[in-house]
Structure 1
Amino acid sequence: MATFFDSLPRQFSDVNVLAAESGIETLPFLQASEGLTRMFDTLGSAFSVVKSDVQGNITSATLQSLVEAEKAENKNTATVGLLWLKRALEFTALGLRRNVDNPGEELSASFHKAYDATLSKHHTFMVRGVFSASLFACPSRADFYKKLAGSDPNKMQGQLASWLGALENQVRIIDQFLRAKGIEK
């Protein structure tokens, strides 16, 4: 019985985090992030801006060792890409976590709160308005989880928990790395 998570080529829980440096393997992470864009399709047009941002940063973003190499060359393309990718992933993870932990809350409410806590402080007044308005187009909670579950809601619950936990851990690692480098405050 197939769920949304069964259709992903790579999941965040499949990405190795190297213990010695809390480094995240680049290609598997980017593949898992690309799979996340499929979830944005499930969330509907409200997430087209986030999907576009993530897709753009997947092609340019690299992780810790490449940020270090870039720094030595006085460049910042990968660093900026990783920073914005981390912000978009953090927004998504927080919105989903809020929704999972608050079963009575609709997706639009969860993602509005996540947006206020993450991306809004990095956006201009105009972008905040567009983003906020687009979040009202989120599907209902019931429709969203039905699409994720496919024919097996129980299996999907376990997969979502694993996927979301791994995403949150990797966002935390990237955030700590960026903060240690003085890139994110």
Structure 2
Amino acid sequence: DKFGAAMALVKSDIGGNISRLEAKYSSNPAKFNCLYSLVQIEVETKTAKSSSSCTNGLLWLTRAMDFLLALFRNLIEHPDWAMSQACTDSYNKTLKKWHGWLASSSFTVAMKLAPDRKKFMEVIQGGGDVNADIEKFCTTFSPYLEENHKFLARFGLDDMKAS
């Protein structure tokens, strides 16, 4: 993988949560035509707090994306930081408070395998101005994550910890 072993954890987590949401949607596209309808039905059936729920998937997907946004912001705001420092700071700001000892320890170990910053930036660069692209992504995507947090908080579901 071009992003290295450290990013494999994040990629796997994001992919697993997207797959969970896609599977539920695919089971009944008419019923689950909106992402939030998945959560509302789970709230009504009192299954939202299950570790295998779509609500839990949306929550952790949102948190993982919070981590990525924080990482991208760190890469722009701190050009002198090593990738491991940018990742660790982003983790501490976003995910650490939700993880137990095992997940937190796993992340610490994974950061020792963080890709080289220059290589990471080359991988995400594509053909344009990487800093401008990152800034645009953060500005555009951040309101969607805020909306997810507000929606989940309305049901008291934005503060669930890892099980």
TM (normalized to structure 2)? Answer: 0.78
In 2: Cα distance, 1:42 partner to 1:170 partner: 27
Of 111, 124, 127 in structure 1, the residue corresponding to residue 87 of structure 2 is 111
Q: Distance in 1 between matches of 2:112 and 2:125?
A: 23
Question: Whole-Å Cα distance in 2 between the matches of residues 178 and 122 of structure 1?
Answer: 15
CA distance in 1, matches of 2:3, 2:143: 22
Q: Separation in 2 of the partners of 1:73 and 1:45?
A: 38
Preserved CA contact (<8 Å) 1:96 1:111 = no
1:180 and 1:143 mapped to 2: Cα distance? 41
Give the distance between the partners of 1:42 and 1:107, measured in 2 at CA: 14
Q: Aligned-pair distance for 1:79?
A: 0.7
**What is the CA–CA distance in structure 2 between the aligned matches of 1:109 and 1:153, rounded to whole Å?**
25
Amino acid aligned to 2:136: S
> 1:138 is matched with which residue: 78, 90, 114?
114
Q: Structure 1: give runs of 5+ residues left out of the alignment.
A: 1-40
Shift of 1:44: 1.1
1:173 is aligned to 2:147: yes
Give 1:124 shift.
2.0
Match of 1:56 among 13, 16, 19: 16
2:105 matched to 1:129?
yes
The answer on whether the counterparts of 1:99 and 1:110 sit within 8 Å (CA) in structure 2 is: yes
Cα distance, 1:169–1:43 mapped onto 2, change above 3 Å: farther
Partner of residue 29, structure 2? none
Aligned-residue Cα RMSD (Å) equals 1.9
Offset of 1:148 from its aligned partner? 2.2
Q: Distance in 2 between matches of 1:132 and 1:48?
A: 14
Paired residues, number = 143
TM-score (norm 1): 0.69
Per-residue Cα deviation, 1:49-85 (whole angstroms, up to 9, x for no partner): 2211111110223722221122222222111111111
Deviation at 1:45, TM superposition (A): 0.6
Percent sequence identity is: 28
Question: What is the aligned counterpart of 1:158 among 118, 123, 132?
Answer: 132
Where does 1:1-185 land on structure 2 (aligned, <5 Å)?
Answer: 41-61=1-21, 63-76=35-48, 77-150=53-126, 152-154=127-129, 156-185=130-159
Q: CA 1:101–1:172 in 2, change beyond 3 Å: closer, same or farther?
A: same
Question: Cα distance, 1:91 vs. partner?
Answer: 1.1
Partner SS state of residue 43, structure 1: coil
